[in-house]
Amino acid sequence: MKRAAPEKKGRHPEHLWLPYTQMAIETPPLEAVATQGARIRLKDGRELIDGISSWWTACHGYNHPHIRDAVTRQLESFPHIMFGGFVHEPAIRLADRLIALLPPGLARVFFSESGSVAIEIALKLAVQYWVNRGETGRDRFVGFRRGYHGDTLAAMAISDPDTGFHDRKHFSGYIPEHFFTEIPKSETDAAAFEDFLRQNRSKIAGVVVEPLVQAVGGMRFHSAKSLRRIAEACARQGVLFIADEVATGFGRLGALFACEEAGVTPDILCLSKALTGGTLPLAATVASAEIFDAFFAPDPEKAFLHGPTFMANPLACAAANASLDLFEREPRLEQVAAIAAHFQTALEPCRALPGVCDVRVKGAVGVVQLEGEVDHDWLRGRFIEEGVWIRPFGDMVYLMPPFVIEEAELGRLTDAIVKVVGEWSAQKRA
Ligand SMILES: Cc1ncc(COP(=O)(O)O)c(C=O)c1O
């Protein structure tokens, strides 16, 4: 049924090209002028409570003084220096700290600036790892249905081609073909998955998975056991296990890392998003000692020839170090547990609404899954009227708020979801 679209106020900025937007028909963006804690202030004076932490990054809320001070100090010292030929204390310290926090076995950190690039680097490392070991022809990956790993071409190529976020038909022939399968949920699935690896091992460089939660592909959860089955099958079949913790890393699901919750150590692990507490662009591709050793030889051809201009930017590394301080000093994981407990009760009323097919919670991720037509523009507009920033995508409305969100603010978010999804459901029935 057709519902009234919210009035489209204003125009798109004349010279900006906006992400994931059909600018000819979609409502223009809001103009933000300030942020604080879990709040975003708009140019017109309104204030929104942020339900999605700026694409899941702002885990400590906005403008945390500890991160701001660390970045300011670094800015006064030096904002950037090329990483080719130089290193610096913020990067050395950050790498040491990440290795100490990540599952044991990971040993080397390669920095870049975005999640997609961290994935590109992981894929290149995996392919060259086999070449360096004298096994050629292993340049295919196994990805999972509903997986998403970024928008650059190689990252797109291992994102689900059918239910994914991208319209792959525009790029067919341009991106490599990989293998896709379901996350193995049972013993039988796991045996079939392992069989597939065994049969195709000579072509496969690695398996790429978003551990425990497939985010962009629909906030689908799988168990720690499923993840362990994937990791164990990879280990037995001699295929690299690559974990994309770009969305799940840094406490979002309850443990600091999803791999830690499942007790698995990947060969390569990717981080970004909350790495700097949502302040500056930074990503890390972290490899095991065994991967690194395959590149470490008196042979220039075995070196990894990759180096983004702004890799390991000192400001971003200072922000990331300050963010890790906050995980040490402030009760972030307890806050995540409290958010999870709130979601469990406060989102539950949605379950009874016609048109809602699931309500699920994992850590500070709360999902209300809808069926049938979902008018994102209408939902987004109604949420803004309710004073909250919630950006539905696919067939769901979800929350991933800053961990520091106050109880009353969290209540405003969940109340808005119950109310607006209720309206959506009633209109759907009408
Ligand atoms: C699991 C996962 N991997 C990779 C990416 C890509 O990160 P970026 O947008 O920083 O390139 C995303 C982005 O949402 C993601 O959720």
pLDDT tens for 133-154 read 999 999 999 999 999 999 999 9
Let me know if residue 25 belongs to a domain: no
Let me know if residue 14 belongs to a domain: no
> Residue range 18-44: average pLDDT?
95
Q: Assess whether 288 and 303 both reside in one domain.
A: yes
Let me know if residue 21 belongs to a domain: no
Choose the final residue of a domain: 329, 352, 383: 329
pLDDT at 420: 98
**Is 273 a residue of the active site?**
yes
Q: Assess whether 225 and 99 both reside in one domain.
A: yes
Read off the pLDDT band of 9 (50, 70, 90). Answer: low
List, edge to edge, every strand of the sheet that includes 268-271: 106-112, 283-288, 268-271, 240-244, 204-209, 140-144, 179-181
Residues 217 and 164: their CA atoms lie apart, in Å, by 6
Residues 228 and 231: their CA atoms lie apart, in Å, by 5
Q: Assess whether 88 and 178 both reside in one domain.
A: yes
pLDDT in tens, 254-302: 999 999 999 999 999 999 999 999 999 999 999 999 999 999 999 999 9
Q: Assess whether 103 and 174 both reside in one domain.
A: yes
Choose the final residue of a domain: 329, 361, 389: 329
Ligand 1 atom nearest residue 114's Cα: 10
pLDDT in tens, 100-123: 999 999 999 999 999 999 999 999
Let me know if residue 127 belongs to a domain: yes
Task: Tell me how crowded residue 198 is: count the other CB atoms within 10 A of its CB.
Answer: 13
Residue to probe by mutation, ligand 1, list 116, 248, 252, 398, most atoms within 8 Å of CB: 116
Pocket, ligand 1, Cβ cutoff 6 A: 114-116, 119, 148-150, 210, 215-216, 244, 246-247, 272
Q: Assess whether 101 and 248 both reside in one domain.
A: yes
Q: Assess whether 166 and 286 both reside in one domain.
A: yes
Q: Which domain holds residue 342?
A: 32-60+331-429
pLDDT in tens, 207-222: 999 999 999 999 999 9
Task: Report CA(246)–ligand 1 centroid distance (Å).
Answer: 6
pLDDT at 2: 46
Residues 297 and 303: their CA atoms lie apart, in Å, by 8
Q: What is the pTM of this model?
A: 0.96
In the chain, the percentage of residues whose pLDDT exceeds 90 is 91
pLDDT at 291: 98
Choose the final residue of a domain: 313, 329, 345: 329
> If you take atom 13 of ligand 1, which residue's CA is the nearest one?
150
> If you take atom 10 of ligand 1, which residue's CA is the nearest one?
115
Q: Assess whether 115 and 39 both reside in one domain.
A: no
CATH number at 415 reads 3.90.1150.10
- Which residue among the candidates 129, 244, 267, 398 is catalytic per the annotation? 244
Task: Report CA(149)–ligand 1 centroid distance (Å).
Answer: 5
Residues 258 and 243: their CA atoms lie apart, in Å, by 9
Q: Assess whether 267 and 168 both reside in one domain.
A: yes
- Which residue among the candidates 50, 62, 129, 148 is catalytic per the annotation? 148
Report the amino acid identity of residue 225: K
**Is 148 a residue of the active site?**
yes
Let me know if residue 4 belongs to a domain: no
Let me know if residue 7 belongs to a domain: no
Let me know if residue 26 belongs to a domain: no
Let me know if residue 120 belongs to a domain: yes
Q: Assess whether 106 and 247 both reside in one domain.
A: yes
CATH number at 216 reads 3.40.640.10
Q: Assess whether 91 and 52 both reside in one domain.
A: no
DSSP 184-236: P-SHHHHHHHHHHHHHHTTTEEEEEE-SSEE-TTT-EE--HHHHHHHHHHHHH
Secondary structure (3-state) at 343 = helix
Instruction: Name the domain count of the chain.
Output: 2
pLDDT at 10: 73
Q: Assess whether 299 and 361 both reside in one domain.
A: no
